[in-house]
Amino acid sequence: MVEKIKLAQGAGGQMMDKLIKDKILKYFTKTSVSAEIPLSMLDDSAVIDDIVFSTDSHTVQPIIFPGGDLGSLAVAGTVNDISVMGAKPIALSAGFIIEEGLSSETFETIVKSMSKVASDADVPIVTGDTKVVEKGAIQEFMINTSGIGKRTSLLEKNIKEVKQYRSFKQRWLLDSNLEKGDKIILSGNIGEHGIALMSYREGYGFETEIKSDVAPINRLMEKILSVGGVVSAKDPTRGGLANTVNEFSEKSKIGIVLDEEVVPIPKGVRSACDLLGIDPLEIGNEGKVVIGVVKEKANDVLAEIKKHPLGKNAAIIGKATDKIKGVVLKTTVGGKRNLRKPIGDPVPRIC
């Protein structure tokens, strides 16, 4: 029988991991060996000649949703993947694929929204491409954004601060940089983006209280770096917090203990998840960051994040430890469970 690509293989979990490793990396890795941070590291961006480079295609349905739209998502997505490397995003591209029949008004709404988010983030869109395909060839409208970023003195300052407390050889904030004792900080509420979309799509009614958190986090990252002591950062998008901390743990080869009680989950997200039987830790977010920071700087970094409008509900949610393997969640009822990477995504087509 002919093997066919399944939806879950693009959902950001274990199945997508396998698709990338089995069918993509073996062909592309050789061409990227000269990169300082090559494709094979599967981090949020690559780095070559000190240029941070990332790309992201956005296929969200519906294209306008509570709290955002395809345009805001496409800009924030790439800005965030560059920012979490510790770099300053400096320019974006926008590639449009439009289904014939899309209303011109909707198209313009989304382009305007891209423009607004890009100017709020202060990252210009400097190049692009527009294609229109026959009705049915795609659903409505898809946008690819790529972006480049560069090193700044803020990243140097941050790394200098790390070196006050432990040896550190890396030049970027990588998923693989955690060591035992590092604290894990989450910048705010989780689950809002995925639940807002799912609820709006399926008509569950939660959308009246839950809006997508989509937002560029580059300015928040600047604040974080200015305090210093940060070793890793990642935006918990597809696969949610569960996927992010497992990436940290796998790539850093260190255990991570999370305290479920302190993970900020809004009431509406919690009740939607209970109703639908899904885990809020596996739901995608689009305006959050999870960072690893040396323990001596954790409280200072947390205080700085809390001052930022995107970081009011930030919390120290766990730490890296060599006493366990993988990720262990201390549950609210006093138990412990292994927190694994989701297999697929409980909420598809959200980014």
- Cα separation, 351 vs 337, in Å, equals 29
Using CB under 5 A as the binding criterion, the count of chain residues that bind Mg ion stands at 3
Q: Which stretch binds Mg ion (CB under 5 A): 76-84, 85-93, 128-136, 334-342?
A: 76-84
Query: Residues 207-246: x/- map of binding to Mg ion (CB under 5 A)?
Result: ----------------------------x-----------
Which part of the chain contacts Mg ion (CB under 5 A), choosing from 80-88, 195-203, 315-323, 329-337?
80-88
Pick between residue 69 and residue 81 the one whose CB is nearest to Mg ion. 81
Q: Does 17 bind Mg ion (CB under 5 A)?
A: no
Beta bridge partners of 93: 127, 146
CA distances from residue 236 to 21, 160, 190 in whole angstroms, order as listed: 20, 26, 9
Residue of 43, 44, 56, 69 that binds Mg ion (CB under 5 A): 44
Which position has the token pair 């382009």? Answer: 111
**3-class state of residue 172 by DSSP:** coil
Contact 70, 143 (CB under 8 A): yes
When the beta carbons of 235 and 345 are compared against Mg ion, the nearer one is 235
- Give the residue at shortest CB distance from Mg ion: 44
Binding residue (CB under 5 A) for Mg ion from 81, 140, 175, 247 = 81
Q: Which is nearer to Mg ion, 94 or 233 (CB)?
A: 233
Residues 6+ apart with CB under 8 A from 229: 158, 161, 162, 164, 165, 293, 294, 296, 297, 298, 300, 301
CA distance 48 to 37: 7
**Nearer residue to Mg ion within complex by CB, 284 or 348:** 284
Residues that bind Mg ion (CB under 5 A): 44, 81, 235
